[in-house]
């Protein structure tokens, strides 16, 4: 579904992506792990067409998106759902209006149909009855669930999650993971997710890729990653201070 070839991106003199290559299969949950500041969100922003690479190419479902102009990219983006890092709900809109937003922006559906779809999505993420509240009136876990409802309300083919569980208690992390798995089973979207939740990610990903020093140093199924002979992967998933990765 997604093919990324030799992606390079620098900001000023800082090389962030240095030849990133990765494929994501249709219908799988691919989880990208790696150091804080290592370029995971920058990578996602390239997939979203929000950043242009200095070099390299990206194909989505056979279309080279790195060759597209603004309005052509908008067409591709209509098939996307996105949960941005931090949730990024509109504070001035209720939970209901946040979830309705992409339907109002991207479709010509009647208000009654939009209301029905929003209520259905809110129910699927366990937020029935919370639609009238504002983001600052609900808990962090509820905001994450609202962001997931907003990302999925258009029934996208591809969903990007940037750290959807950061800052939540362990029970809520598990609950959000189960919610994502449940929705994935129902809607069969292709997912690219950035997460620091180790070891939980090994329970929900079909494949895991580790981004380090601007490249994917290893990608494979959870067992292959856990048993990897690559010392960078081992140090990272065990959180060890000693090893090839500098701690600070
Ligand atoms: N628009 C930008 N302009 C300049 N530098 C940027 C820009 N976006 C990201 N960077 C830099 O690129 C590097 C990678 O950032 P990125 O947000 O991708 O990290 P990350 O892997 O998502 O980290 P975290 O796990 O903490 O979210 C950082 O050093 C960041 O400061
Ligand atoms: Mg990030």
The number of domains in the chain is: 1
Residue percentage of the chain with pLDDT more than 90: 80
Look up the CATH number of the domain holding residue 189. Answer: 3.40.50.300
Does residue 117 lie within any of the structural domains? no
Does residue 29 lie within any of the structural domains? yes
Does residue 131 lie within any of the structural domains? no
In the prediction, which pLDDT does 97 show? 97
Does residue 71 lie within any of the structural domains? no
d(CA 41, ligand 1 centre) in Å:
6
The model's pTM is: 0.94
Regarding the beta carbon of 33 and ligand 1, being less than 6 Å apart is answered no
Whether residue 86 is predicted with pLDDT greater than 80 in this model: the reply is: no
Residue with more model confidence, 30 or 74: 30
Residue percentage of the chain with pLDDT more than 70: 99
Does residue 105 lie within any of the structural domains? no
Whether residue 32 is predicted with pLDDT greater than 90 in this model: the reply is: yes
Note whether 106 and 76 are within 8 A (CB).
Answer: no
Dihedral angle at the C-alpha atoms of 31, 190, 11, 247, nearest 10 degrees? 0
Whether residue 4 is predicted with pLDDT greater than 80 in this model: the reply is: yes
Does residue 119 lie within any of the structural domains? no
Regarding the beta carbon of 16 and ligand 1, being less than 6 Å apart is answered yes
Domain with 36, as residue range(s), is: 1-58+182-248
In the prediction, which pLDDT does 195 show? 95
In the prediction, which pLDDT does 248 show? 66
């Amino acid at each position: 579904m997604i093919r990324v070839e030799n992606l390079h991106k620098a900001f000023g003199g800082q090389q962030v992506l240095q030849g990133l290559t990765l494929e994501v299969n249709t219908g799988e949950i691919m989880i990208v792990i790696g150091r804080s500041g290592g370029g995971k969100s920058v990578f996602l922003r390239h997939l979203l067409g929000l950043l242009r690479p200095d070099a390299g190419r990206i194909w989505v479902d056979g279309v080279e998106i790195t060759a597209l102009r603004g309005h052509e990219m908008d067409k591709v983006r209509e098939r996307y759902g996105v949960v941005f890092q931090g949730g990024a709900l509109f504070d001035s809109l209720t939970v209901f209006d946040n979830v309705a937003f992409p339907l109002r922006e991207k479709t010509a559906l009647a208000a009654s149909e939009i209301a029905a779809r929003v209520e259905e999505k809110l129910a699927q993420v366990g937020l029935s009855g919370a639609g009238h509240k504002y983001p600052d009136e609900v808990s962090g876990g509820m905001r994450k669930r609202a962001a997931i409802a907003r990302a999925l309300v258009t029934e996208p083919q591809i969903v990007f999650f940037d750290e959807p569980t950061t800052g939540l208690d362990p029970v809520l992390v598990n609950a959000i993971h189960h919610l994502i798995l449940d929705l994935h089973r129902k809607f069969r979207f292709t997912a690219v997710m950035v997460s620091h939740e180790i070891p939980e990610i090994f329970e929900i990903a079909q494949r895991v890729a580790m981004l380090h020093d601007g490249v994917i140093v290893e990608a494979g199924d959870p067992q292959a990653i856990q048993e990897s002979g690559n010392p960078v992967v081992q140090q990272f998933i065990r959180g060890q201070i000693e090893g090839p990765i500098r701690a600070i």
